[in-house]
Amino acid sequence: MARTALVTGASSGLGAEFARQLAARGADLVLVARDRAALDDVATRIRAEQRVQVDVLTADLTDAAGLAAVETRLTDPDRPVQVLVNNAGFGLDLDFAANDIADEERHLDLHIRATMRLTHAALGPMLARGSGRIINVASVAAFMPRGTYGAVKAWIVSFSRWANTVYAPRGVTVTAVCPGFTHTNFHERMGLPPGKEGVPGFMWLDAADVVREGLRDAARGKPVSIPSRRYKLLVGAVRILPAPLASRLAKTGR
C-alpha cells in the first residue's frame, strides 16, 4: 500500500470507510471535510486501531480558499500523496425546477469543479514520480436519467475513463467507483430518515463491501468499478431499456 492517502468527505459514510480500509492496508491519511469535530472523531478511532499517521484538514471544497488548501497539500513535495480519493458530495431532490439554484451550483461545484481541480493538483506530482492512484466516487446514477445528481456523476465517470486511458500507461490510474444505494448517512443529510428513502431492501449495499470492491478494482487499474453483481446487472439492463422505461426505473428512491 502507498504511504499517504488523502480522502475528501472523510468525516462519515463512504469517506470514513475508505479511510479505515486504507489505514488497515498501511496507508497514512489526510482526512478532509468541513466538520472538524467529526473529522477528529474518525481520526482518533483510526489512530487507536491502526499504527498509521492521521492528519485532518478542515476545508469546504465549494469555497475557493478551502479548495486551494487541499490543492496545496496535494502538491507539497515534502509530503507526497500517493492515493487521492475524491469522495465529498451531497444529494438534492430530483425536481430540478423546485430546487434552489444556489444549491444546484454548490452541487455542481463540489462534484465536478472540486474533483477536476484536486485531480489536476494530484496528477502533476504523481506523474513526476511515475506512480499514483486516483479514486473518484461516482454512482450508478451516472448511467441513468436521474436529475443533476446523475448528470454530475456521469461527468465523473466519463472524465475518469478518459484520464485512466491517458495516464495509466504513465503509472497513474484513475477509477470511478459507482455504488448503488448504500447504508450511510447520505440520505439522512438530505432530510430523509431511515426507511423513508423509497428503496427496496434488496437494493441496499454495505459501505464496507462497496469500499472493499472499489479499492480492489482501483488496484487492478480498472477505469470504472460498479460494486455488487446486482448493480452490474442493473446498469447493463438500463443501457438497453427504452428511454421511457429507464426513466421510470431511475425514479426509484430519493
Alpha carbon 9 to its chain centroid, in Å, reads 8
**Which residue from 17, 205, 176, 14 is spatially nearest to 91, judged by alpha carbons?**
14
The one catalytic residue in 149, 155, 181, 231 is 149
Q: Is 149 a catalytic residue?
A: yes
The residue count for the chain: 254
Instruction: Give catalytic residue positions.
Output: 149
